[in-house]
Amino acid sequence: MAITEMNPDGVSGVVDPMGGANQTRVRAYNERLVLSLVRRHGSLSKAEIARRTGLSAQTVSVIMRALEQDGLLKRGDPQRGKVGQPSIPMSLNPDGVLSLGLKIGRRSADLILMDFTGRVRQQLHEAYRYPTPAGIVAFVEKSTATILEAISADDRRRIAGLGAALPFELWNWVEEMGAPREDMDAWRDADIAAMLGERLPFPVFIQNDATAACAAELAFGHGPRFADFAYFFLGSFIGGGVVLNHALYPGRTGNAGAFGSMPFKSRDGGQDQLIDHASVVLLEKLLLEAGKDPSSIWLTPETWDDFGEIPARWIEMTGKALAFAIATVCSVIDFEAVIIDGGFAASVRAQVTEVARRELGKLDLQGIEPPIVEEGLVGSAARAIGAASLPLFSRYHIDQSVLFKEMA
């Protein structure tokens, strides 16, 4: 996962992963390795960690004792076997670290407080016609203050930072969002990380929104189950991510999985893109054409108003488009699975996924091994959860590609 880290002076930098290793760095790496393994498996005993890492039992014991003293791990109930001492499983302490996650969407923003195990403890939401840098900063300042006032001083000290997930090149979506060009052009020169960093007392991390959602699915959803998968997230528009060998693959520019830009045959026989056939904005357009108020799909994404047959028609269109997209991506990479998620209710996600499965079965897939098509497990908050995971992985876990390539 490509993550920019802010040092104590507020200057961003990347630690060279090929740099030399001293005793302190080796200890820090081993601590991150242990935390990463425990996160992936839920809970592990010292003996199991020693077996999986190749570290000595004594080294593992020292590391886990230190992590427990720091409040990052907690003991489970002893598990008695047939012989020897009972093993004690260790798991992540939910209260050990907290993190803030910001989702900047094309129609709404969310700020969440997440614990060390990925559980969302607080969530604040704001809908708008289109986002502006100044409006986002104001929302974050106000919402952060609300969250901090509601938690204890100890909890405030445990906040590792704020991660922000947003669509890259927002200024290119003027026509689709119906926003004034001058307002969207403000994003060209806006350093949102610096703007937020000036106003918040902790580090700020930035990631593409669909990539962040894919990272959330990798860490808290189907990640342990599938080694390779393509991930589609239906938000205002559609984006996604690519997971290879249990690791998020960001690509050369960090924009791998930009499925919305996939060339598509338009309804009039010309050419357009997948975003023109699968997006929540498309549902908004259908509702407006029918003279209905679409505001609930942004204000209350988990509970849409009763729009009659229009959502069912949109689900059919979306599922059919996704089926073609799935066949396309699987002709390039032999994905084990394809995961579909979105910023709406689980029932809608289930219907979209079922249509995509059905329509995929109708296509000529000669030469392609059909993937498993599954609903995402993280849900509508995936982008915010993925954003909140950025500070956690930066400080407390090793790079995902190192972890999951090392662990079979």
Q: Give the per-residue pLDDT at 68.
A: 93
- High-pLDDT (> 90) share of the chain, %: 60
Mean pLDDT of 150-173: 90
Mean pLDDT of 171-182: 75
Query: What residues have CB less than 8 Å from 156, skipping those under 6 apart?
Result: 148
- Tell which residue, 266, 270, 360, has the closest CA to residue 320: 360
Main-chain dihedrals φ then ψ at residue 138, nearest 5 degrees? -65, -40
Under the banding of pLDDT at 50, 70 and 90, the label for residue 174 is low
- High-pLDDT (> 70) share of the chain, %: 88
Q: Give the per-residue pLDDT at 205.
A: 93
- Tell which residue, 235, 229, 338, 250, has the closest CA to residue 280: 235
Q: Give the per-residue pLDDT at 11.
A: 38
Residue 186 predicted with pLDDT over 60: yes
Query: What residues have CB less than 8 Å from 299, skipping those under 6 apart?
Result: 108, 127
Q: Give the per-residue pLDDT at 53.
A: 87
Q: Cα–Cα distance between 186 and 192 in angstroms, integer?
A: 11
Domains of the chain: 22-93 (1.10.10.10), 98-207 (3.30.420.40), 222-377 (3.30.420.40)
Average pLDDT over the chain, rounded to an integer: 86
Instruction: Tell me which of 118 and 181 has the higher pLDDT.
Output: 118
Tens digits of residue pLDDT in 355-378: 999 999 999 999 999 999 999 999
Under the banding of pLDDT at 50, 70 and 90, the label for residue 16 is very low
Q: Give the per-residue pLDDT at 403.
A: 37
Q: Give the per-residue pLDDT at 396.
A: 81
Q: Give the per-residue pLDDT at 288.
A: 95
Q: Give the per-residue pLDDT at 236.
A: 87
Mean pLDDT of 53-62: 90
Mean pLDDT of 333-341: 97
Q: Cα–Cα distance between 66 and 87 in angstroms, integer?
A: 18
Q: Give the per-residue pLDDT at 42.
A: 86
Tens digits of residue pLDDT in 109-135: 999 999 999 999 999 999 888 899 999
Residue 14 predicted with pLDDT over 70: no
Q: Give the per-residue pLDDT at 248.
A: 85
Residue 51 token pair: 């077996």
- Tell which residue, 19, 14, 2, has the closest CA to residue 252: 2
